[in-house]
Structure 1
Amino acid sequence: MTDSLQTHAIAPALVLRGDGAWSQALPRVVALGQRPFLLGRSASTYSLRQQLLVDLERAGARPVASQGFRDCCDEDLLPLAQDAIAAGCDALIAAGGGKVLDAGKLLAHRLGLPCITVPTSAATCAGWTALANMYTPEGAFLGDVAIERCPDLLVFDHDLVRQAPARTLASGIADAVAKWYEASVSSGSSDDGLVQQAVQMARLLRDLLLLEGEAALADPSGEAWVRVAEGCALTAGLIGGIGGARCRTVAAHAVHNGLTQLAATHGQLHGEKVGFGVLVQLWLEEQLAGNRLAAQARRQLLPVFRRLGLPTDLEALGLGGATLEDLRQVCRFACRDGSDLHHLPFAVAPEDLLAAMVGATVDRQQT
């Protein structure tokens, strides 16, 4: 029996994309809030955020810059909320990567403020979605939180995003490619038309990214870069919005969540861990379900991921010195009750997952 009513937070109320999108967005930003709270984190984007503050002031706003943000965790969000309230802020602007965008969406939701997301890379689709991942202050994944709606305004300025390291785009490619490998498993047999369409969109997105990903990294000024960057940051979010809760993440993101429990992996980007998780999921499908197509897909992805500079084994993830107990901790978390890993159509125990993680390393040495 299926639910008769489903809800979908499909897309931001407005998306502005292209070269110079931020400057074009300023009147709309100021219309949403005269006293916006600007949230950011990375030292590498500090000068960029300072320019955003100058631009906002020139547009007639009185922005307030956030202080003391480490991670998307309640320990940071609670004092940030107090700061925004004390300053009389009437809108929230999140400018940064995935954790900044998630924190901004959640903070805006809690305070009842309009939300503007300004991705500074194409590493994730967090600027689009009505979802936030929560972590501990140390960076270990806790769980995700559904938000009532997508942002009020998403500004995807090509000029801003091009300033990000190429590594972030490669990470975004891995994260977006995972949409197909996870959604096709968790929702491929659904009779829901929207879910079916979302799954097929994920397949088309995968094809685009695998065909043009290397060209995009090689030439950030080219049209391939535009298609790939927008595919990672925008289309991937749209797929999740249309597919809804039934177009779920599966083992790839569960592996990411488990890996974050070890501090040694915190230097790796979200999509880098997810990409490794895709390889692990395909190994599980091959070994535990006898899926030959999964084996073929893994053999196809491995060289592509390597050319993109993505980690394809434990050593590259920073776990070359990990103990067996460290890896078992990852697997226990990834296999805990309620984990997305259990959307696989077969049972997976922590020892199975451990074998799959080691199997990815063996594959690297043998191919």
Structure 2
Amino acid sequence: MVRVWPDAVEVGYGALRRLRDIVYSVGESPLFISGPGKSREICESLGIRPLVVDESTSKAAEGVAAAALSCDSIVAIGGGKVIDVGKMSAERAGLPMVSVPTVLSGDGIASPIAVIDGTSHKVSVPRALVCDLEIISGAPKRHNTAGAGDLLSNISSSWDWRRAHELGRDKDFNGLAAAMSETGALALVSEEPDLRCSDTLRALCQGLLLSGAAMALAGSSKPSSGSEHKISHAMDRLFRGPGLHGEQTALAAVFTTYLQSNSHRESMISFMRKLGLPTKPADLGLSFANFARCVAEAPSTRPDRFTILEEVAPAGERLLGLIEEAFTHGSLAGQSL
């Protein structure tokens, strides 16, 4: 049976106090890896001498896998790049992996996907996860906020996947996986829109865990990556990523949920505004015309995945009109198409 959830999950303030117990329940001879900055300092404060990783590349993953030849587990302490390298190297070495995020910038903390050299690779879900909210609260606010944006965009992606199934354009739909993805996002929206609030941070971590589990259950990223991720990929391709990943997907979701007439759109946007996420293209330095280029380019980034963009297929002046409506007159109301 495919694992969709870590066997051990510790989330809370002071969770690092249980790190050694959890790590040694997974393996007796772990290899610790970290980033070169804060995560390395955390390791050293715990008496751990980690192997330092500063890039999410195949070369880095190969180096970690080679260093783990005499070990029986890999423990990744750090941000998204470190955790991705940890997951990929563990997959190559055939070892269990423990994820210890120091920032909540995306759902990679426990997902079955590792981004290496800019490409997504299927990997195993971490065997365990330790998320100390005290450490997370000290991470750069913008990065945690981007993680919230990545989670909120599941409101769009889960809708896309369900709609593709209804139209007979997706035969692999899993209702439970779609519900898990959406539920994590809606649970976050129900909290105080302030990442200094402990309940909000906990909801963010748990929502990102649910997002990863939904992907593992589905066997693909479909529950958490739809039309809004296609637009974000197009932003990367055309404008070299004007924002952080979660900022881009959240902004794109403002538009895609408009096309979807998504019933959760108003509460999503209200939460985004209070949290400080971008809600219009200008917030990421894009004009309406440039955003339109991204929307037009988006279908080609994942041509095998049917979304609202393929159903509506807006182009030309109609596309510009829809963008203007979505980000001005339709900012808090949907539209039936």
Alpha-carbon spacing, 1:114–1:230, altered in 2? closer, same or farther (3 Å) = same
1:31-110 matched pairs, under 5 angstroms: 32=27, 34-40=29-35, 46-57=37-48, 63-67=49-53, 69-70=54-55, 72=56, 76-82=57-63, 84-86=65-67, 88=69, 90=71, 91-110=73-92
Alpha-carbon spacing, 1:248–1:365, altered in 2? closer, same or farther (3 Å) = closer
Question: Given residue 38 of structure 2, which amino acid in structure 1 is its aligned partner?
Answer: S
184-193 or 153-162, which deviates more: 184-193
Alpha-carbon spacing, 1:15–1:87, altered in 2? closer, same or farther (3 Å) = closer
Question: Structure 2 regions of 5+ residues with no counterpart?
Answer: none
Question: Given residue 286 of structure 2, which amino acid in structure 1 is its aligned partner?
Answer: L
1:258-297 matched pairs, under 5 angstroms: 258-262=234-238, 265-266=241-242, 268-285=243-260, 293-294=261-262, 297=264
Alpha-carbon spacing, 1:259–1:19, altered in 2? closer, same or farther (3 Å) = same
Q: How far apart are residue 306 of structure 1 and its match? A: 1.6
Q: How far apart are residue 311 of structure 1 and its match? A: 0.7
Count of residues in Structure 1 that have an aligned counterpart in Structure 2: 324
Q: How far apart are residue 278 of structure 1 and its match? A: 0.9
Alpha-carbon spacing, 1:118–1:305, altered in 2? closer, same or farther (3 Å) = same
1:229-248 matched pairs, under 5 angstroms: 229-245=204-220, 247=223
Q: Any idea what SS the aligned residue of 1:110 has?
A: helix
Partner of 2:306: 342
Cα contact 1:187–1:199 (8 A) shared by 2 = yes
Q: Any idea what SS the aligned residue of 1:319 has?
A: coil
1:172 aligns with 2:147: yes
* Percent of aligned pairs with the same amino acid: 22
Cα contact 1:313–1:360 (8 A) shared by 2 = no
Deviation string, structure 1 residues 10-53 (Cα, Å, up to 9, x no partner): 11232122222222121332452535140326xxxx13422314
Alpha-carbon spacing, 1:170–1:39, altered in 2? closer, same or farther (3 Å) = same
Partner of 1:118: 100
Cα contact 1:37–1:84 (8 A) shared by 2 = no
In structure 2, what is the Cα distance between the partners aligned to 1:341 and 1:348?
Answer: 14
RMSD: 3.6
Alpha-carbon spacing, 1:10–1:33, altered in 2? closer, same or farther (3 Å) = same
Partner of 1:4: none
In structure 2, what is the Cα distance between the partners aligned to 1:235 and 1:185?
Answer: 18
46-55 or 355-364, which deviates more: 355-364
1:198 to 177, 185, 210: 177
Give me the TM-score of the superposition, normalised by structure 1. Answer: 0.74
In structure 1, what is the Cα distance between the partners aligned to 2:121 and 2:23?
Answer: 25
Q: Any idea what SS the aligned residue of 2:229 has?
A: helix
Cα contact 2:112–2:215 (8 A) shared by 1 = no
Cα contact 2:233–2:301 (8 A) shared by 1 = no
Q: Any idea what SS the aligned residue of 1:212 has?
A: coil
Deviation string, structure 1 residues 181-212 (Cα, Å, up to 9, x no partner): 21133136579999223333444333322221
